[in-house]
Structure 1
Amino acid sequence: MKVLPLKKLIKPSLLIIGSLLCLQASWLPAKAWLSQQLISYSWHQTLALQQKIKPWPWADTYPIAELSFKRLTRRLVVLNGGDPSTLAFSAGAIAPFNKVNSTQPFVVAGHRDSHFSFLNEVAMKDIISLADQYGQSQLYQVEAINIVDALTGQLPILTDDSSLILITCYPFDDPSSNSNERYVITAKLL
């Protein structure tokens, strides 16, 4: 039996290890891209069928609205719920403020380093469109941008006001920090 010299085994071994590392590194971006495609598809199916369509069969959530920021040319499908598994895939509407076309505010939370990373570009008087599962849109205008301390629990939410409130962690430039501050955008119904 002939034994291969160590030099002949190094090249194929390094090639296999390098390939496995590349696959591992591309897994998370590929999963993120695919989840956004599935969420978008389930939103379009929700509009077409006018019923709750989960993005994947084992999902704990479903799309309930779409936010459009015309000046920024951004669109974002909003999922139902504010739990970590929902926020990992998109922004989420937080119960009990998760009803579109209500007399209560519609409150949406998202991560500052992913789906809501652009909120620092939103400016006063910007117009935001909120589409519901029936394809009906409402326009909101940004009227306040605040930075609040989350530990005090004093978020500017009035329960009898039909505003749109967007919340993310703050500051934007240091996503590794475990900040207790929240960036809160309040937009009034036009």
Structure 2
Amino acid sequence: MSLYFFGSSGYIHAKAVLAQYLIKDAWQHTLQNGQQTPPWAWADTFPVATLDINGERLYVLSGATGRTLAFAPGHLQSTPLPGEQGNSVITGHRDTHFSVLASVQVNDVIAAQTTEGVSYYNVVSTRIVDESNVSVIQNTSQGTLTLITCYPFNGLMPNTHLRWVVSAKRMP
């Protein structure tokens, strides 16, 4: 039984890494022709942005569903894209792409690229909240980037009720 769980975990991680190559290619097509390009023929999502966080580039897919998050961080569609006015919310798994959030500190700079250009954000806080705390996704009048993942990092229990939230303000 433990071999099954070990193999299953390895499969999920490998799928997330391989998907990044396909998503990167779709993102390049999107930038070149201005049309939303799915990363594979049967995909029900497409890349909408990139994030550069502490030297790591992450590709962000449209939608924050479980299926999307299996491949990359997902943009909460009810929020503006990075670079737009308001609170742009992006979620991801703590044990794959958003594991990088464990090292994010106040005053770090995050670069977010969309088809409209690159915006820079200064991290103003990191905090732990309960999953029921929806105040972190509420819209703002400022350019804000909110990154959310499960907490604790390296936790053994799935579906924890805690969330690690990184809040950043757009730099002029």
Q: Say yes or no: TM over 0.5.
A: yes
Q: Looking at both structures, which has the greater relative contact order when contacts are Cα pairs under 8 Å and sequence separation is at least 6? A: 2
Structure 2 residue corresponding to 1:108, chosen from 83, 90, 94: 90
For 2:23, what is the secondary structure of its paired residue? helix
Partner of 1:168: 149
Asked if 2 retains the 8 angstrom alpha-carbon contact of 1:108 and 1:166, the reply is yes
Q: Does 1:65 align with 2:46?
A: no
Partner of 1:139: 120
Over 4 Å off, 4+ runs: 24-30
Q: Which structure 2 residues correspond to residues 2-81 of structure 1 after superposition, within 5 A?
A: 31-69=15-53, 72-81=54-63
Q: CA deviation at 1:34?
A: 3.0
Distance in 1 between the 2:72 and 2:9 partners?
21
Pick the structure with more strand per residue.
2
TM-score by length of 1: 0.79
Q: How many equivalent residue pairs?
A: 165
Asked if 2 retains the 8 angstrom alpha-carbon contact of 1:112 and 1:175, the reply is no
Q: Does 1:92 align with 2:74?
A: yes
Distance in 2 between the 1:115 and 1:39 partners?
13
Paired-residue identity, %: 37
Return the index of the structure with the highest Cα Rg. 1
Asked if 2 retains the 8 angstrom alpha-carbon contact of 1:113 and 1:175, the reply is no
Partner of 1:158: 139
Asked if 2 retains the 8 angstrom alpha-carbon contact of 1:103 and 1:162, the reply is yes
Distance in 2 between the 1:108 and 1:26 partners?
24
Partner of 1:18: none
1:49 aligned partner, one-letter code: N
Partner of 2:64: 82
Distance in 1 between the 2:9 and 2:66 partners?
23
Distance in 2 between the 1:101 and 1:74 partners?
19
Q: CA RMSD in A?
A: 2.2
Distance in 2 between the 1:145 and 1:83 partners?
23
Q: CA deviation at 1:157?
A: 3.2
Partner of 1:149: 130
Distance in 2 between the 1:26 and 1:148 partners?
29
Distance in 1 between the 2:80 and 2:61 partners?
9
Partner of 1:129: 111
Residues 1:179 and 1:101: Cα distance change in structure 2 (over 3 Å): same
